Structure 1
Amino acid sequence: MSRTTADAPTPADDQAHRPLPVHLVGSLPRPLCDDPATALRWFVEHRGEAELTALPSDRDPRWIIDWLTRHLSSVPSLEQVRGGESRGYDDMPYYRVRPGQRLSEQEVGLRRVEQAEAAFAALDRMCPGGPGEPPRVQVGIPNALDLALFAFGSIDAAREWMPTVQAAVRHEVAELDARWGDRLQLQLETPAVLVAYHLAPPPAWAMLTADLTRQVSGVLAAAPRARWVLHLCYGDLERVPVFTPTDLRSAVRFLNALTDLLAEQGAPMPTVHLPVVCGRQAPPTDPAFYEELRHLRRGVGIIPGVVVEDYPEETREALRLAEEALGAPVSGVAAACGYGRRTEEAAAANLALAARLAREWSMR
């Protein structure tokens, strides 16, 4: 078990002499995700010879739906404004705070500490000591902006309650960091960032960028010991994106600004898992799609989310194009999202393709 995870997803400039790791975004299909030991063992058994950036502990591919429909519906200070079956982005329930009530950060918590505790206990049973460092456990951290938008259904309402949700996320992140900091990989997950750029006219991007980077850096600062991966996303409910990108302009705009802000704060820029494929589509193989990566700040580690098991040649070409546009080695290889909405067979095929490409890239 000691070589299950790579030493670190390193910035692109330091990656040349390391084996290229596979990054696992998170979830598995049921019933594999119902038990942490089963999930961890599945990842280990299906990785082949590839190293992993960490072992994911995500257990429920529908966590956001359960959080919205079960958890928030039981919060006394909230009342449901609209119901929904969560079958699409326009079919999600949302809430408001009852008149005269105040929402507390404890009421919107995600219980990620309990999830991590179960994962570490399972991992310690699997590898109870011995030579080498134990693998890191990855805990997915939904961005506070995304949670506020899901919970309250509009930008204005989300803005009102963002301080409370931000405090809740920071509290859980800080506790995770305090208990397991150097054994953790925290993955900050945020479709809302790229969706916000998609919805905003370009003249508004400067103000939007300032707001987004300030909010994201606030979450990152709550866990200074843990290793962070920033997972951008286009949404994947029912394997359907919120929108389909035509280039990476908004992502690079945000990442450059975040890099600059973190540098001012004396904080490191996390490695970025950057999806380039949506839903069930093949990865884009038009070089123009990747052109904006030429303007990314040097030293930002990028793990392209390109692996689609049904399109191995397109996946290989997309990885090559991403690296060519970066002008530096990629920091890993990955699918665009977790495996929770795939079948077990498709998940295994995706991981096998990712492992094959990681080995191929490491031998060049």
Structure 2
Amino acid sequence: MPTTTTAAFARRATDPIPVHLVGSLPPPLHRDIRAALAWPLAHCGYAPLTAMYYEPDPRWIIDWLDSLARLPALEQVRSGASRGYDDVPCYRIRPGHELDPADLAMGRVAQTEAAFAVLDTLDTGAVPRRLHVGIPNAFDRALFAAGSPESADEWMPALQASVVDEVAALAARWGDRVQLQLETPAVLAAYQRAAREDRPLLTAELVQQVSGVIAAAPDARWILHLCYGDLEHEPLFTPVDLDAAVMFLNALADALAALGIPMPTVHLPVAHGSAPPSTDPAFFRALLRLRRGIDVIAGVVAEDHPVESRHALALIEDALGGPVEGIAAGCGLGRRTLAAAAANMALATRLAHERSPLSARRTA
């Protein structure tokens, strides 16, 4: 289970912060499971990893959208080469047809089985023999497939059922050997589109959807990956603060607590695209209101901006009043070259060992 922030701090008073790979690796690696699993081990130095990593395809959203063209229940209403957020194909459900959740599945059970078959032959050293499995959120997939929030509602029942079925199957088969990461850039994008007065209703709707997925595997080791998007290494929007993230996370923590389900560890993005993370203290001010006990992985690592990455990590820990649970890039490394991905990992491991000024003060 995720540890509390206090317990995490006690455990890591002198140890490096764990490094978390959000999930995807550069395209040359995804074709070979063994190479993909071995790459982080070769680049993490002496920093611990939160899990072993294998994402079958960093272009999953593109390939999945293209695959929908074969479903008889769907009709393509816009084509696209997926070279940007306004260039993706979208579909409508044909009148008189219904979506089958099984047709929308991501194939995560079969992919995880194939990855474990290789992982169990590797010497991972001190890294836990736990496999990170990315779970693209139903809300995000509905928005992409339907092309608009208004049209996405019709897709949600089948997509939610599809995600829930896969999550339950993964947890039932592998239990604590899998680290399930719910990936949902659409949450923060939805707040970006919404008027301030509409945010409470939006929060209730988003919390209901996300908690429904987590509740399908309540005892699983969960990570919630918030994101700004990274198609073509460009964000959906440029963030100006963490207000929306904190509003959503506090409400989700309350809803899960009412169900008796632990709050997932949260990958909180600060870096986005090729831009540096913010170093404005005002950007992080909302974290003062974050429920204590919500563990945070700081998504601050931008390989071309080491000074800003280091500063942003310190500002997060200052606002939280304690150390983070892990350190990571703002999104997966799948849109980077191998050289850039290696540079990102090198910076992450340096920051993991350096600790922040706050941690240094507290352990002095």
Structure 1 length as normaliser, TM-score? 0.94
- SS of 1:180's equivalent in the other structure is helix
Is 1:107 aligned to residue 103 of structure 2?
Answer: yes
Return the letter of the residue paired with 2:86: D
- SS of 2:135's equivalent in the other structure is strand
- SS of 1:272's equivalent in the other structure is strand
Show the counterpart of 2:85.
89
> Which stretch has the larger CA shift, 325-334 or 208-217?
325-334
Show the counterpart of 2:263.
269
Show the counterpart of 2:164.
170
Show the counterpart of 1:10.
3
Change (3 A) 1:289 1:134: closer
C-alpha contact (below 8 Å) 1:9/1:21 kept by paired residues: no
Aligned length: 354
Deviation at 1:132, TM superposition (A): 7.8
Is 1:337 aligned to residue 331 of structure 2?
Answer: yes
Match for 1:150 among 144, 153, 156? 144
Deviation at 1:327, TM superposition (A): 1.1
- SS of 1:333's equivalent in the other structure is strand
Match for 2:230 among 201, 225, 236? 236
Q: Deviations over 1:1-43 (max 9, x none)?
A: xxxxxxx763322211223200110111121111111100011
Is 1:26 aligned to residue 19 of structure 2?
Answer: no
Where in structure 1 are there 5+ consecutive unaligned residues?
1-7
C-alpha contact (below 8 Å) 2:227/2:269 kept by paired residues: yes
- SS of 2:45's equivalent in the other structure is coil
Quote the Cα distance in structure 2 between the aligned partners of 1:22 and 1:177: 23
Return the letter of the residue paired with 2:3: T
Deviation at 1:203, TM superposition (A): 0.5
Quote the Cα distance in structure 1 between the aligned partners of 2:161 and 2:53: 24
Return the letter of the residue paired with 1:82: R
Match for 1:319 among 301, 310, 313? 313
> Which stretch has the larger CA shift, 150-159 or 40-49?
150-159
Show the counterpart of 2:53.
56
Match for 1:251 among 245, 256, 270? 245
Deviation at 1:262, TM superposition (A): 0.5
Deviation at 1:134, TM superposition (A): 4.5
Q: Deviations over 1:229-280 (max 9, x none)?
A: 0000111111111110100000000000000000111000000000011111
Q: Deviations over 1:52-105 (max 9, x none)?
A: 011122121111000001x21111211101101111111110011122211110
C-alpha contact (below 8 Å) 1:136/1:183 kept by paired residues: yes
Q: Percent of aligned pairs with the same residue?
A: 60
Change (3 A) 1:134 1:317: closer
Match for 2:94 among 83, 95, 98? 98
Show the counterpart of 1:38.
35
Return the letter of the residue paired with 2:73: S
Show the counterpart of 2:273.
279
- SS of 2:224's equivalent in the other structure is strand
Deviation at 1:184, TM superposition (A): 0.7
Show the counterpart of 1:5.
none
Match for 2:207 among 207, 213, 216? 213
Q: Deviations over 1:88-139 (max 9, x none)?
A: 11111001112221111011110011111111111001149xx988421000
Q: Deviations over 1:127-170 (max 9, x none)?
A: 49xx9884210000001000111111122221122011000000
- SS of 2:328's equivalent in the other structure is coil
Deviation at 1:361, TM superposition (A): 1.5
Show the counterpart of 2:176.
182
Quote the Cα distance in structure 1 between the aligned partners of 2:236 and 2:127: 40
Deviation at 1:360, TM superposition (A): 1.5
Quote the Cα distance in structure 2 between the aligned partners of 1:72 and 1:11: 41
C-alpha contact (below 8 Å) 1:141/1:186 kept by paired residues: yes
C-alpha contact (below 8 Å) 1:39/1:57 kept by paired residues: yes
Structure 2 length as normaliser, TM-score? 0.94
